[in-house]
């Protein structure tokens, strides 16, 4: 082998190593639903979110090296990614025009969402869509995701049935497993049920050449020939039947866990997704297995709907309904139910808030502000920092522009999936239909629920698959001419628009794939010293991000948990200060909690501790209000503290009155206001 050939081989080996490192990093993200951090505040959310961000940031640094030195792995132009990027840009604008840019960017410990989180998922989709390009690649990724979902489901069911007793798992009357919330568990399981179904059905339609041939009977063959044939047969081990069994078991576990979670939104999403899969199989499917599966889904759906209707209106099934939580939730759902009334009241408040800020809204993650201003509470003790409807929350927090940009993503997804369903081979389009069904199911369940790090992960996986499909569509043969497709009667204008968009995408993709190519900068990057320097810079940037933001956020969440759990007030103050110093951008949650705790312990403090408490609140109160000036809950905490302080020293009465007035302005119908007004009358009367 010549020196040049050896260098090329070595270079390709390094490229393969980088590629598989990126793939491993992406697959590592899929394992994070198993992570629980009991030492932090909100252990089912904080640890997962920070682990996801860390994995994405480190993987992104490796991916940059890959695409700089190996142009064939660079992402091609994608309208889905362009729509997501537009949504991210609009969210950034809405953050800075909203009522609390810090809250919009970073959210809080309870949610761990915000624009920063959105940017990480954009990077995840960008990478996954670029390195997982073929259907075998995606079968691997979906299988890993399904395996993790099956394990999460099995853990939750084991806790539910008493097989294990772990303090780490949520022990509720509805299964939540390692996700901490039955609604999150339902959405997570819902997506994986549909993906498992798609993998199973698609595997039966694989062409013969993809399935290893079975060893034929030897007939009249020599003993040596028989041994050679046996060895060759052993090398061509057929793993597919075992995979089918695994996919089936995993899908059944997820479906069972979905039922035990009692999440009606996820069940509705699963039903709509199944209908979409059935319709797609009837329209696009040409395989007997697909049609049989479609008919089976129709039969199961009809039986399920009939059973729920009979159980709802026939007393004969009352004993069965009363014995099962999910059946009770399905048969008693109605507008008068407490949780539904609370959400309707929240939506009414959101509509009024949207009318105040119709263009860019109140800022992402700031739904609590318009809710506090406009809600009219009856007997619902809840407060809503989320709209419990992703579409509606986009409308209120990012305005009309934000909602349009969000819906553009779904329009781009639908356009790509419809084209792919027409262009893929019959056996391959079944997986495309399953992904489309899962996306529809996710959209439906998000009409009445909100996101979490794990559910956004599932959506991002599905989006990345569509991005890869879009790239495949552009690189494969041209679309059928208008008049040859099944729905071609209205296809001329659509075909022209698609041709224009494809041409634009190809031009942009070609330009990107050729960079960098020439010039001093490119020569420096390709020199050994340049490679080393770039690797050091990217590793340093990734390490800085992980330490300065993720590790410090983890330290802050751990100290916040210690502060909340502290037995004495001085100990709580010490841990509080550690938390705020570690990561001030997420400090408002613990600031409010510290003010509230101090208020409840005012009467037990010594004179010296009381003076320290007053100084502490006088310092952190304005800090918190600078971050969230219109957060009525902060004013509730401050008003409560100064009322307790005024009971000990009347000089703090004006401070209490000032914050009560702010609660009247920002949250006129919120439930704590009644107690504050009653206490003010008592204090001022005295």
> Higher model confidence: residue 682 or residue 463?
463
C-alpha dihedral over 575, 576, 580, 582, to 10 degrees?
10
C-alpha dihedral over 617, 622, 628, 629, to 10 degrees?
120
Please name which of 132, 14, 677, 109 lies closest in space to residue 435, comparing C-alpha atoms: 132
Please tell me the predicted confidence (pLDDT) of residue 493: 44
Burial 579-608 (b: 16+ CB within 10 A, else e): bbebbebbbbbbbbbbbbbbbebbeebeee
Please tell me the predicted confidence (pLDDT) of residue 530: 78
> Higher model confidence: residue 17 or residue 344?
17
Judge whether residue 56 has pLDDT over 50: yes
Tokens of 42: 């909100």
Measured CA distances, 175 to 78, 148, 254, 272, 670 (Å): 38, 16, 11, 22, 31
Left (φ > 0), alpha (ψ -120 to 50) or beta: where does 221 sit?
beta
State how far Cα 420 lies from the chain centre.
25
Asked if 363 and 112 count as a contact pair (C-beta separation under 8 A), the reply is no
Per-residue pLDDT band for 246 (boundaries 50, 70, 90) equals: very high
Q: Which residues contact 69 (CB under 8 A, 6 or more apart)?
A: 15, 18, 525, 526, 531
Per-residue pLDDT band for 170 (boundaries 50, 70, 90) equals: low
Mean per-residue pLDDT over the chain, rounded = 84
Read off the pLDDT of residues 206-241 as tens digits, 9 standing for 90 and up.
544 344 433 344 445 555 555 655 555 555 667 888
Cα dihedral 176, 178, 183, 189 sign: negative
- Find the largest Cα–Cα distance for the chain: 110
Judge whether residue 491 has pLDDT over 60: no
What is the three-state SS of 107-132?
CCCCCCCHHHHHHHHHHHHHHHHHHC
Instruction: Give the span between the Cα atoms of 252 and 248, in whole angstroms.
Output: 6
Please tell me the predicted confidence (pLDDT) of residue 529: 80
Per-residue pLDDT band for 380 (boundaries 50, 70, 90) equals: low
> Higher model confidence: residue 350 or residue 331?
350
Please tell me the predicted confidence (pLDDT) of residue 15: 84
Instruction: Give the span between the Cα atoms of 569 and 587, in whole angstroms.
Output: 18
> Higher model confidence: residue 568 or residue 204?
568
Measured CA distances, 305 to 190, 299, 466, 567 (Å): 18, 10, 32, 52
> Higher model confidence: residue 182 or residue 522?
182
Asked if 202 and 427 count as a contact pair (C-beta separation under 8 A), the reply is yes
Instruction: Give the span between the Cα atoms of 471 and 126, in whole angstroms.
Output: 12
Tokens 């099944």, located at residue: 486
What DSSP letter does each residue of 322-374 carry, written as one string? HT-HHHHHHHS-STTSHHHHHHHHHHHHHHHHHHHSTTTTT-TT-THHHHHHH
Per-residue pLDDT band for 512 (boundaries 50, 70, 90) equals: very low
Judge whether residue 353 has pLDDT over 70: yes
**Kind and range of the H or E run holding 93:** helix 79-97
State how far Cα 168 lies from the chain centre.
22
Please name which of 357, 463, 445 lies closest in space to residue 104, comparing C-alpha atoms: 357
The least confident of 34-43, 377-386, 542-551 is 377-386
Tokens of 203: 């595997």
Instruction: Give the span between the Cα atoms of 399 and 412, in whole angstroms.
Output: 20
Please tell me the predicted confidence (pLDDT) of residue 481: 38
Instruction: Give the span between the Cα atoms of 115 and 670, in whole angstroms.
Output: 28
Measured CA distances, 610 to 139, 513, 598 (Å): 62, 66, 9
Instruction: Give the span between the Cα atoms of 576 and 563, in whole angstroms.
Output: 5
Asked if 240 and 205 count as a contact pair (C-beta separation under 8 A), the reply is no
Please name which of 597, 641, 672 lies closest in space to residue 372, comparing C-alpha atoms: 672
Read off the pLDDT of residues 2-40 as tens digits, 9 standing for 90 and up.
655 555 566 677 888 999 999 999 999 999 999 999 999
Tokens of 579: 């938390």
Read off the pLDDT of residues 297-327 as tens digits, 9 standing for 90 and up.
777 767 777 766 666 667 766 666 666 677 7
Tokens of 72: 């064939």
Tokens of 154: 């099995």
Please tell me the predicted confidence (pLDDT) of residue 290: 63
The three-class DSSP label of residue 421 is helix
Instruction: Give the span between the Cα atoms of 355 and 647, in whole angstroms.
Output: 41
Q: Which CATH superfamily is domain 538-685 in?
A: Tetratricopeptide repeat domain (1.25.40.10)
Read off the pLDDT of residues 578-617 as tens digits, 9 standing for 90 and up.
999 999 999 999 999 999 999 998 888 888 989 999 999 9
Measured CA distances, 311 to 302, 315, 322 (Å): 14, 7, 10
Instruction: Give the span between the Cα atoms of 525 and 522, in whole angstroms.
Output: 5
Judge whether residue 518 has pLDDT over 60: no
> Higher model confidence: residue 685 or residue 333?
685
Per-residue pLDDT band for 340 (boundaries 50, 70, 90) equals: confident
Read off the pLDDT of residues 661-678 as tens digits, 9 standing for 90 and up.
999 999 998 888 989 999
Half-sphere exposure for 229 (CA within 13 Å, toward CB): 14
Please tell me the predicted confidence (pLDDT) of residue 652: 92
Half-sphere exposure for 582 (CA within 13 Å, toward CB): 21
Q: Which residues contact 108 (CB under 8 A, 6 or more apart)?
A: 365, 586, 588, 589
Please tell me the predicted confidence (pLDDT) of residue 204: 81
Instruction: Give the span between the Cα atoms of 625 and 638, in whole angstroms.
Output: 10
Please tell me the predicted confidence (pLDDT) of residue 293: 67
Please tell me the predicted confidence (pLDDT) of residue 515: 47
Percent of the chain scoring above 70 in pLDDT: 79
Please tell me the predicted confidence (pLDDT) of residue 489: 40
Judge whether residue 561 has pLDDT over 50: yes
Per-residue pLDDT band for 462 (boundaries 50, 70, 90) equals: very high
Provide the angle, in degrees to the nearest 10, between the axes of the packed helices 453-475 and 114-131: 40
Asked if 361 and 395 count as a contact pair (C-beta separation under 8 A), the reply is yes
Domain extent listing, the chain: 74-208+239-471+493-508, 538-685
What DSSP letter does each residue of 379-416 carry, written as one string? S-----SS-S-HHHHHHHHHHHHHHHHHHHHHHHHHHH
Peptide bond into 631 cis (omega under 30): no
Tokens of 676: 């504050």
Per-residue pLDDT band for 388 (boundaries 50, 70, 90) equals: confident
Tokens of 570: 């001085």
> Higher model confidence: residue 112 or residue 278?
112
**Kind and range of the H or E run holding 139:** helix 135-160
Judge whether residue 510 has pLDDT over 80: no
The three-class DSSP label of residue 479 is coil
Please tell me the predicted confidence (pLDDT) of residue 393: 94
Per-residue pLDDT band for 523 (boundaries 50, 70, 90) equals: low
Tokens of 292: 């049989």
Instruction: Give the span between the Cα atoms of 206 and 431, in whole angstroms.
Output: 11
Read off the pLDDT of residues 149-165 as tens digits, 9 standing for 90 and up.
999 999 999 888 887 77
Per-residue pLDDT band for 281 (boundaries 50, 70, 90) equals: confident
Please tell me the predicted confidence (pLDDT) of residue 217: 44
- pTM value is 0.88
Instruction: Give the span between the Cα atoms of 416 and 82, in whole angstroms.
Output: 13
Measured CA distances, 228 to 211, 220, 238, 275, 297 (Å): 20, 14, 18, 50, 46
């Amino acid at each position: 082998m010549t020196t040049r050939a050896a260098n090329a081989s070595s270079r390709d080996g390094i490229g393969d190593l980088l590629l598989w490192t990126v793939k491993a990093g992406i697959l590592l993200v899929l394992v994070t639903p198993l992570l629980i951090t009991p030492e932090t505040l909100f252990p089912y959310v904080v640890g997962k979110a920070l682990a996801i961000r860390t994995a994405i940031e480190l993987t992104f640094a490796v991916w940059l090296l890959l695409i700089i030195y190996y142009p064939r792995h660079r992402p091609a132009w994608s309208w889905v990614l362009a729509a997501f990027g537009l949504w991210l840009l609009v969210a950034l604008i809405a953050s800075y025009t909203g009522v609390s840019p810090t809250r919009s960017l970073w959210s809080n410990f309870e949610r761990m969402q915000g624009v920063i989180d959105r940017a990480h998922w954009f990077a995840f989709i960008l990478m996954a869509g670029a390195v997982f390009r073929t259907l075998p690649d995606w079968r691997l990724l979906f299988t890993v995701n399904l395996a993790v979902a099956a394990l999460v489901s099995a853990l939750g069911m084991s806790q539910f049935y008493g097989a294990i007793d772990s303090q780490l798992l949520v022990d509720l009357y509805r299964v939540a497993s390692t996700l901490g919330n039955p609604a999150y568990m339902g959405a997570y399981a819902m997506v994986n049920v549909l993906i498992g179904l798609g993998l199973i059905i698609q595997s039966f339609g694989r062409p013969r050449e993809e399935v290893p041939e079975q060893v034929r009977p030897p007939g009249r063959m020599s003993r040596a020939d028989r041994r050679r044939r046996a060895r060759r047969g052993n090398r061509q081990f057929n793993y597919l039947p075992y995979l089918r069994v695994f996919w089936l078991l995993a899908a059944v576990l997820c479906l069972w866990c979905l039922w035990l979670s009692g999440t009606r939104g996820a069940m509705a999403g699963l039903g709509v997704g199944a209908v979409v899969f059935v319709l797609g199989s009837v329209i696009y499917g040409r395989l007997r297995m697909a049609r049989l599966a479609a008919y089976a889904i129709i039969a199961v759906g009809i039986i399920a709907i009939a059973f729920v209707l009979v159980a709802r209106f026939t007393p004969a099934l009352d004993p069965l309904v009363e014995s099962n939580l999910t059946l009770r939730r399905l048969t008693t759902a109605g507008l008068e139910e407490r949780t539904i009334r609370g959400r309707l009241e929240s939506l009414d408040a959101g509509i009024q808030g949207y009318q105040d800020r119709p263009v860019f809204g109140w800022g992402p993650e700031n739904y609590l502000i318009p809710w506090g201003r406009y809600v009219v509470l009856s007997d619902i003790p809840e407060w809503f920092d989320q709209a419990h409807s992703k579409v509606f929350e986009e409308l209120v927090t990012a305005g009309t522009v934000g909602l349009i940009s969000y819906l553009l993503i779904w329009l781009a997804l639908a356009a790509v999936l419809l084209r792919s369903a027409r262009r893929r081979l019959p056996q391959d389009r079944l997986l495309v239909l399953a992904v489309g069904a899962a996306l529809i199911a996710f959209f439906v369940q998000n009409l009445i629920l909100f996101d979490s790090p794990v559910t956004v992960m599932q959506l991002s996986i599905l989006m990345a698959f569509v991005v890869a499909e879009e790239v495949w569509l552009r690189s494969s043969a041209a679309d059928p001419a208008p008049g040859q497709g099944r729905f071609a009667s209205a296809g001329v204008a659509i075909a022209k628009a698609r041709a224009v968009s494809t041409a634009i995408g190809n031009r942009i993709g070609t330009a990107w794939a050729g960079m960098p190519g020439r010039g001093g900068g490119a020569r420096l990057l390709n020199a050994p010293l340049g490679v080393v320097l770039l690797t050091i810079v990217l590793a340093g940037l990734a390490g800085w991000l992980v330490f300065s933001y993720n590790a410090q956020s983890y330290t802050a969440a751990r100290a916040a948990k210690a502060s909340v759990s502290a037995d004495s007030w001085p100990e709580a103050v010490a841990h509080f200060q550690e938390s705020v110093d570690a990561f001030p951008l997420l400090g408002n949650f613990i600031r409010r909690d510290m003010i509230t705790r101090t208020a409840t312990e005012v009467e037990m403090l010594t004179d010296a501790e009381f003076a320290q408490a007053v100084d502490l609140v006088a310092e952190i109160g304005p800090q918190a209000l600078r971050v969230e000036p219109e957060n009525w809950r902060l004013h509730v905490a401050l008003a409560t503290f100064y009322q307790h302080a005024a009971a000990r020293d009347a000089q703090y009465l004006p401070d209490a009155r000032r914050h009560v007035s702010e609660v009247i302005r920002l949250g006129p119908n919120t439930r704590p206001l009644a107690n504050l007004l009653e206490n003010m009358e008592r204090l001022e009367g005295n």
